[in-house]
Amino acid sequence: MTLVETLARGAGAIAAYAAVGVVLLIVGFYVIDLVIPGKLSTIIKTERNANATLLATSTLIAVGLIVAASIWSSGGKLTEGLAGTVVFGLVGIIVQAVAMLVFDSVVGVKVRELVKEQELQPGARLLAATHIAIGLITAIAVI
């Protein structure tokens, strides 16, 4: 294989992983959108809500960790790596949404109330840390 072929193949793999990663980030964003009241993009852009922004940001960081770990663990096997990235990314997103609901009912951190508050709330920080921890746990499990 020539250098050009190797570079082209590598660039194609990067583009494929990037596309899957972006799709998973969008899915993660909209799953959080389903859990909170209102339209998340409007709450962030128009209302400039720090709590909603922190929850969305932490979700995207967690998904990014999972995608990176999936790429790392693929061992250069593109098809298996892409499939693993999709599956593990979706599992991580689902677990994050479930964690929000569990915190809502068990711990009493009410996500629906958090995003109505304009000032950053301790509960939003707690949920954000939980999202990132779940992403890290899932990422390490992938590796």
DSSP string of 22-86, one letter each residue: HHHHHHHHHHHHHHSSS-HHHHHHTS--HHHHHHHHHHHHHHHHHHHHHHHHTTT-HHHHHHHHH
The mean pLDDT of 31-44, rounded to a whole number, is 91
pLDDT, one tens digit per residue, over 109-142 is: 888 888 889 999 999 999 999 999 999 999 999 8
The mean pLDDT of 62-82, rounded to a whole number, is 91
pTM of the model: 0.88
The mean pLDDT of 7-22, rounded to a whole number, is 95
The pLDDT assigned to 117 comes to 92
70 within 8 A of 76, measured Cβ to Cβ:
no
- As a whole-number percent, the residues of the chain with pLDDT over 70 amount to 100
- As a whole-number percent, the residues of the chain with pLDDT over 90 amount to 68
The pLDDT assigned to 78 comes to 92
The pLDDT assigned to 70 comes to 87
Other Cβ atoms closer than 10 A to 92? 29
The mean pLDDT of 75-101, rounded to a whole number, is 90
The pLDDT-based confidence of 103 (bands split at 50, 70, 90) is confident
The pLDDT mean for the chain works out to 92
Q: Could you tell me which of 11, 36, 26 has the C-alpha nearest to residue 97?
A: 36
The pLDDT-based confidence of 37 (bands split at 50, 70, 90) is confident
Q: Could you tell me which of 92, 88, 109 has the C-alpha nearest to residue 100?
A: 109
Q: How many angstroms separate the CA atoms of 20 and 69, rounded?
A: 13
Other Cβ atoms closer than 10 A to 121? 19
